[in-house]
């Protein structure tokens, strides 16, 4: 672990400089709502999201313990081409970095953050630039520090084996990601097969 002289809360490595705030523009106001009936279902959604990412996105995850936040991040890692088995809850090491996939992935857990000062000491905002994808569990504890343009995902218990999942874009870049992910998920969900990122590139080119 390198140190740049600042005290941090269990961060793997220092990262990049802070990105200026993104101006909001018109995006879809309708959230994408799903019901996941199994771990495999949640994983497949995560893979579709991972395939749709282009780099630099922030994914804010909300929901109670056991709702499937870490499972969704594992799927996202797989969609990025990384091994899902490497992803674990970073509750005791606040930030984990993974670079095995086509984009660098940072997995953050703010569960134990108790104050703005503790949040600042993690260096979280330094990851909001470049090509790094940042997935943040318990994102409600760091709302003031999050980019304006991000993907908000809320997971809640519905029954013993099912969850409700709602995805909402807060800016144009995140809106593009959700649009691509919906197309990807639609081509794979009914067939119960793993997503192919080639499908997204062919069927959902980025709008100008």
CA distance 48 to 66: 21
What integer pLDDT is reported at residue 48 of this predicted model? Answer: 96
CB atoms within 10 A of CB 40: 12
Rounded to 5 degrees, what are φ and ψ at 46? -60, -40
What integer pLDDT is reported at residue 85 of this predicted model? Answer: 78
What integer pLDDT is reported at residue 198 of this predicted model? Answer: 57
What integer pLDDT is reported at residue 84 of this predicted model? Answer: 80
What integer pLDDT is reported at residue 193 of this predicted model? Answer: 52
What integer pLDDT is reported at residue 204 of this predicted model? Answer: 41
Residue 99 exposed, middle or buried by CB count within 10 Å (0-12, 13-18, 19+): exposed
What integer pLDDT is reported at residue 196 of this predicted model? Answer: 63
Task: Identify the CATH number of the domain defined by range 32-189.
Answer: 3.40.50.300
Ranges of residues in the chain whose predicted pLDDT is under 50:
1-25, 190-192, 200-208
CA distance 100 to 84: 10
- The model's pTM is 0.79
CB 163 within 8 A of CB 36: yes
CB 192 within 8 A of CB 52: no
CA distance 52 to 103: 11
CB 28 within 8 A of CB 37: no
């Amino acid at each position: 672990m390198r140190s740049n002289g600042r005290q941090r809360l269990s961060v793997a490595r220092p990262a990049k400089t802070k990105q200026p705030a993104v101006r909001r523009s018109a995006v879809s106001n309708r959230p994408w709502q799903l019901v996941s009936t199994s771990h495999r279902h949640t994983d497949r959604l995560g893979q579709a999201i991972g395939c749709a990412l282009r780099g630099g996105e922030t994914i804010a995850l909300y929901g109670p313990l056991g709702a499937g936040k870490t499972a969704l991040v594992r799927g996202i890692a797989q969609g990025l081409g990384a091994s899902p088995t490497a992803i674990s809850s970073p509750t005791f090491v606040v930030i984990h970095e993974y670079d095995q996939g086509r984009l660098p992935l940072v997995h953050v857990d703010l569960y134990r953050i108790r104050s703005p000062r503790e949040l600042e000491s993690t260096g979280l905002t330094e990851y909001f630039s470049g090509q790094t994808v940042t997935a943040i569990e318990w994102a409600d504890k760091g709302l003031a520090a999050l980019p304006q343009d991000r993907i908000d995902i809320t997971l809640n218990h519905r029954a013993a084996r099912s969850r409700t999942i709602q995805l909402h874009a807060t800016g144009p870049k995140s809106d593009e990601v959700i649009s691509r992910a919906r197309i990807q998920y639609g081509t794979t969900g009914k067939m119960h097969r793993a997503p192919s990122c080639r499908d997204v590139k062919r069927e959902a080119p980025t709008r100008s």
